[in-house]
Amino acid sequence: MHFATTTALLTAALAASVHAAPSAPVLDDPNLIILHTFELEHGTAYELGLKNSTAAAAAATTEPEASRLRRRCGSNQVQCRNDNKSTYVACDELIKDLDKDRHRLFDPSAIGWYHIDSWGTICYVTWPRTVPGLKQGHVVSAARKTLGTCNGGARVSGIARDVNLNGVCTFQCLSSSSVCRS
């Protein structure tokens, strides 16, 4: 009887420690910094930026290329990836939290949003450059499409190209990695 009670208590303590979110995030890109931390309904979120914000400046494009990009911008062309997969649940919670406060402006130097759910699972939504006037709601559409398209086996990783982020045509990633490359 004593053994069963001790085992039950140890199991409960282990379960509580396994479900606790990490106290500080580990970023997989040494050029990133945490700009802001938010406690949310579904976990903790971190707004990310680059250590050197000028590194996030857009590359120049030729006028014909810019015109071609404008025509298809907002189409959110999704490609699924097999690496850096997060869980469907963690990414869904991230998107819900972004959508809930969709009119909130990101920090002007932000290039991503990092979410740790109550189970300690990580999901990122990231983009390659800073975007003036970017609101949380601007990243939701492509993130939702990526989540819906790339949900294989309850694991998610993908990139959406031709994403319109407040008038800037770019790409956006949804995965367990802070690194977002086209």
Q: What is the DSSP string of 2-17?
A: HHHHHHHHHHHHHHHH
Q: For the chain, which residues make up each domain, given as ranges? A: 22-52+64-175
Q: How far apart are CA 104 and CA 109, in angstroms?
A: 14
Q: What is the pLDDT along the chain (182 residues), one digit of tens a residue?
A: 443 433 333 333 333 333 344 445 667 778 888 888 888 777 788 888 888 755 444 433 444 444 555 568 999 999 999 999 999 999 999 999 899 999 999 988 888 888 877 678 899 999 998 999 999 999 999 999 999 999 877 999 999 999 999 999 999 999 998 888 87
**Cα 160 to Cα 9, 21, 64, distances in angstroms:** 46, 28, 22
The pTM score is 0.76
Confidence at residue 44, expressed as pLDDT on a 0 to 100 scale: 84
Confidence at residue 21, expressed as pLDDT on a 0 to 100 scale: 43
Confidence at residue 146, expressed as pLDDT on a 0 to 100 scale: 97
Which tokens sit at 109? 């130097």
Q: Is the dihedral of CA 97, 101, 102, 105 positive or negative?
A: negative
Q: How far is C-alpha 123 from the geometric centre of its chain's CA atoms? A: 5
Q: Quickly tell me which residue has 């250590």 as its tokens.
A: 51
Q: Quickly tell me which residue has 């069963």 as its tokens.
A: 4
Helix (H, G, I), strand (E, B) or coil at 148: helix
Helix crossing, 88-100 with 140-149: angle to 10°? 160
1 DSSP assignment: -
For the beta carbon of residue 20, count every other beta carbon within 10 angstroms: 11
25 DSSP assignment: -
